[in-house]
Amino acid sequence: MASFTLFLFALLFTLLPTAFGQTWTSCNPLNTTNCPVDNALGTNATFNWNGTMADSKLWNTTAGTVQWTEHGGEFIINGRGDSPTIQSTFYIFFGVVSVIMKAATGQGVVSSIVLESDDLDEVDWEFLGGNQTHVETNYFGKGNTTSYDRAIYYPVANPQNEFHNYTVHWTSATIEWWIDDNMVRTLKYEDAVGGKNFPQTPMNIRLGIWAGGDKANSNGTIEWAGGLVDYHGGPYTMTVQEVYVQDFTSGKEYSYGDETGDFQSIKVTNGTSKAVAEISAPHGVSGHWKALSNTAHIAIIASASGSALLAFLAIIFCCIKQRRAGRREFAEIEAQREKEAAELVEYKRQMAAGNFSQSSSMNNRF
Ligand SMILES: *[C@@H]1O[C@H](CO)[C@@H](O)[C@H](O)[C@H]1NC(C)=O
Ligand SMILES: *[C@@H]1O[C@H](CO)[C@@H](O)[C@H](O)[C@H]1NC(C)=O
Ligand SMILES: *[C@@H]1O[C@H](CO)[C@@H](O)[C@H](O)[C@H]1NC(C)=O
Ligand SMILES: *[C@@H]1O[C@H](CO)[C@@H](O)[C@H](O)[C@H]1NC(C)=O
Ligand SMILES: *[C@@H]1O[C@H](CO)[C@@H](O)[C@H](O)[C@H]1NC(C)=O
Ligand SMILES: *[C@@H]1O[C@H](CO)[C@@H](O)[C@H](O)[C@H]1NC(C)=O
Ligand SMILES: *[C@@H]1O[C@H](CO)[C@@H](O)[C@H](O)[C@H]1NC(C)=O
Ligand SMILES: *[C@@H]1O[C@H](CO)[C@@H](O)[C@H](O)[C@H]1NC(C)=O
Ligand SMILES: *[C@@H]1O[C@H](CO)[C@@H](O)[C@H](O)[C@H]1NC(C)=O
């Protein structure tokens, strides 16, 4: 009976979407001083996605599903309407963002790295699937889209087949775009309409893929994206191996002091940010637990409770899940399972060593 309760608990755990932190409706600080504060990163951090999935307290999946594999976070377009996207729950107020990634192939398919603030300052990298020689850099200030003449394309070797390091180095004076070890573009504050169009407010980080070449889009967008997407030619996959983020400000929260959108108006609240607390949380068992797949969670509970029935149900769940994985390569599933198996062994070792924080880490989720 007790183990059956555990099973239901585990099932619930897999079905309920996890919702951490605060939620808010989007709010433009240029129109009101009542917008919610921005949680700061307030430190530097490396997110390796080629071995673990993103921490959902720090990264919110805002559309679709990201596949976590040994290669990295995979953002995949399998068919019409797919546009997996992930967004940091933290903001940086000037800093560095390096993304080690491989763009997706496919005419009309757009892979992107976007830094975006609440008042729509924006710094971009956009990769067009049909263009194997260039990457686009762009920026917007305060959502000013009266012209689209700020985009500049730079040469890059084989962005769809090779991992490259795309870095934005952002201060109140300049924005630099780097491809690997080469700085390709610099924007000075004064050169962006005397600063008016210069991105200067706390930004979060968004990574994603979308079909710029969908037939429902405007002709201009389709043309920019390089033509219509052939949905039968996919899957089209953008792979993010690593994200490094450094916040040049070390604070707890950022807020807008007035409606100017000027960096001088941004208020920094001192203290430890939620992100720092999460990053420095002990990543013992609970860290492992979080990184494990749902199948592994059930398997752990099954073996811990010693129930053959549960083990059987875990296998069934695993197989249903595996069928759902559909187009994922068999080899990839195998690799994933091997990794889970290794983590399971480590988890059991820690359990045997007397660390039983697993149940409390589960309780935290409800
Ligand atoms: C995560 O994204 C969803 C969908 O956009 C949104 O409703 C939710 O508020 C976000 N949560 C956080 C913590 O940002
Ligand atoms: C801000 O207010 C202006 C004027 O009322 C309005 O046109 C604009 O759409 C608003 N922007 C946002 C993001 O709410
Ligand atoms: C953060 O930056 C410091 C100083 O530059 C460096 O020593 C440290 O390794 C960095 N931490 C991470 C997680 O990258
Ligand atoms: C993950 O990628 C980093 C570089 O971004 C590399 O150093 C590391 O070895 C990779 N890990 C695995 C498990 O492939
Ligand atoms: C890729 O983009 C560059 C810069 O816009 C352009 O010169 C080149 O023709 C494009 N290549 C393809 C195949 O569209
Ligand atoms: C928007 O940007 C254009 C240049 O692209 C500039 O001429 C114009 O003054 C800007 N508008 C505002 C309100 O800053
Ligand atoms: C990415 O490129 C930047 C700029 O050249 C560099 O500072 C950083 O160390 C690079 N990151 C990795 C992981 O190679
Ligand atoms: C878009 O392009 C198609 C094909 O070139 C053309 O038939 C259609 O009229 C265009 N629509 C607009 C709104 O320009
Ligand atoms: C916040 O911290 C900074 C640097 O540590 C300090 O100069 C400033 O006075 C602090 N502000 C408040 C309101 O405590």
Last residue of a domain, one of 250, 281, 312: 281
Beta strands 72-77; 266-269: pairing state? unpaired
69 and 123 both lie in a single domain: yes
- In order along the chain (366 residues), what is the average pLDDT of each group of 10 residues? 42 29 58 93 96 93 95 97 96 98 98 96 96 96 84 97 98 98 98 97 97 93 95 97 98 96 97 95 51 48 50 45 38 38 39 33 23
Residue holding tokens 């500049």?
Answer: 152
Cα(252)–Cα(209) distance, integer angstroms: 30
Distance 144 CA to ligand 2 centre (A): 12
- Residue 16 forms beta bridges with which residues? none
317 and 251 both lie in a single domain: no
Is residue 289 included in any domain, yes or no? no
Is residue 328 included in any domain, yes or no? yes
329 and 213 both lie in a single domain: no
185 and 330 both lie in a single domain: no
The finding on whether 155 has its CB within 6 A of some atom of ligand 5 is no
pTM: 0.77
186 and 322 both lie in a single domain: no
Q: What ligand 4 atom has the least distance to the C-alpha of 242?
A: 5
Choosing from 44, 47, 246, 278 the residue with most ligand 3 atoms within 8 A of its CB, the one to mutate for a pocket test is 44
Last residue of a domain, one of 281, 310, 341: 281
Residues 231/147, Cβ–Cβ less than 8 Å: no
165 and 121 both lie in a single domain: yes
For residue 261, the domain's CATH number is 2.60.120.200
Q: Which of 126, 253, 340, 343 is catalytic?
A: 126
Is residue 169 included in any domain, yes or no? yes
Is residue 288 included in any domain, yes or no? no
Q: What ligand 7 atom has the least distance to the C-alpha of 100?
A: 13
Two tokens at 5?
């309760």
185 and 317 both lie in a single domain: no
Is 116 annotated in the active site?
A: no
103 and 155 both lie in a single domain: yes
275 and 318 both lie in a single domain: no
Is residue 44 included in any domain, yes or no? yes
338 and 266 both lie in a single domain: no
Q: What ligand 4 atom has the least distance to the C-alpha of 100?
A: 5
Cβ burial 76-103 (10 Å sphere, 16+ → b, else e):
bbeeeebebbbbbbbbbbbbbbbbbbbb
Domain hosting 59: range is 15-281
Two tokens at 151?
């985009």
The finding on whether 21 has its CB within 6 A of some atom of ligand 1 is yes
Q: Residues 359, 365, 366, CA angle at the centre, nearest 5°?
A: 100
Domain tally for the chain?
2
Is residue 267 included in any domain, yes or no? yes
Is residue 228 included in any domain, yes or no? yes
**Which residue has its alpha carbon closest to ligand 3 atom 12?**
45
Q: Single out the residue of 224, 221, 246 nearest to residue 169, CA to CA.
A: 246
Is residue 240 included in any domain, yes or no? yes
Residues 288/282, Cβ–Cβ less than 8 Å: no
Beta strands 152-155; 134-140: pairing state? antiparallel
Is 242 annotated in the active site?
A: no
269 and 354 both lie in a single domain: no
Cα(86)–Cα(59) distance, integer angstroms: 6
Last residue of a domain, one of 281, 305, 334: 281
276 and 309 both lie in a single domain: no
